[in-house]
Amino acid sequence: MDVLAEIAKAIIDGNHQRVGELTGQVIEEGVAPKSILDDGLIAGMDVVGERFRVHEIFLPDVLMAAKAMYAGMDQLRPLLIKEGIPSLGKIVIGTVQGDLHDIGKNLVGIMLKGAGFEVVDLGHDVAPEKMVETAKEQQIPVIGMSALLTTTMPMMREVIQRLKDEKLDGDIKTVVGGAPVTKAFARDIGADAYGFDAANSVGVVKRLSGVV
């Protein structure tokens, strides 16, 4: 098995120490960072994502794999930046204003990073203007919003309205999710997409980003 395939396998096994060691090794050997990323780290996470999607493995396995991916990415990121290698896409995520729940958002962020996205995580209790300004200033084409209270869901509508008011809704897409959020609500507030759960949102964000 070549080393990149071993990295992928270590990701699938959730072995962060092994991923860290092997990534360091192939970097030393001069393997192209893009190859390490695509054929090692993302290749492993793609398998993990697919197995999770068909219920062969479960959330704890995905999160162990994600930790392993981060062990590789932490070493790879400076090299990718130095070589100007772009990510799969960029997204801003945050829990809306008034809401402090962030587990779901964290899981979405982890899954998106695992898929190769650059994620700007604004945390929780994020004001609508901050979400919009961050996406605008950093030219990020997707905003992902999470809410776990029915009282804070209206903030999602505010973000979308702000985008419309600033005529940014064509350039910046929105995806919403969270326990009380439904597809019907997403449609009603004019969101571009609804994220059912963390696993599903990767495919959704890829579609919104024009990656698939």
Partner 1 sequence: MILKFAAADVAPEKRAVFQSLGIPPDVTVPAHIEELYGEGSRLLEKTTAPVGIIADISIDDFEAVYGGEGLNDRDSVVGDVFPNAERLALFAVTLGGDTPRAITDGFESKDFALASMLDALASESADLTAEIAERRYEGHLREGGWGGSDGGVLRYSPGYCGWNVTGQKKLFQYLQPEQIGLTLTDSCLMQPLKSVSGVIIAGPKPIHRFKPTYSFCSTCETHACRERLLALRNR
Q: Enumerate binding residues for partner 1 (CB under 8 A).
A: 14, 55, 58-61, 63-64, 66-67, 70, 97-103, 106-107, 110, 149-152, 182
CA gap 132, 115 in Å, rounded: 24
Q: Shortest distance, CB of residue 127 to partner 1, whole angstroms?
A: 13
Minimum CB distance to partner 1 smaller for 107 or for 172: 107
* Residue with tokens 């990534």, as numbered in its chain: 23
Q: Shortest distance, CB of residue 78 to partner 1, whole angstroms?
A: 17
Q: What is the 3-state secondary structure (H, E, C) of the chain?
A: CCHHHHHHHHHHCCCHHHHHHHHHHHHHCCCCHHHHHHHHHHHHHHHHHHHHHCCCCCHHHHHHHHHHHHHHHHHHHHHHHHCCCCCCEEEEEEEECCCCCCHHHHHHHHHHHHCCEEEEECCCCECHHHHHHHHHHCCCCEEEEECCCCCCCHHHHHHHHHHHHCCCCCCCEEEEECCCCCHHHHHHCCCCEECCCHHHHHHHHHHHCCCC
Minimum CB distance to partner 1 smaller for 26 or for 181: 181
Contact 121, 146 (CB under 8 A): no
Strand partners for 95: 146
Minimum CB distance to partner 1 smaller for 45 or for 110: 110
* Residue with tokens 């192209």, as numbered in its chain: 32
Q: Shortest distance, CB of residue 2 to partner 1, whole angstroms?
A: 26
Minimum CB distance to partner 1 smaller for 83 or for 129: 129
Minimum CB distance to partner 1 smaller for 166 or for 188: 188
Q: Shortest distance, CB of residue 73 to partner 1, whole angstroms?
A: 10
Q: Shortest distance, CB of residue 80 to partner 1, whole angstroms?
A: 18
Q: Shortest distance, CB of residue 74 to partner 1, whole angstroms?
A: 9
Minimum CB distance to partner 1 smaller for 24 or for 141: 24
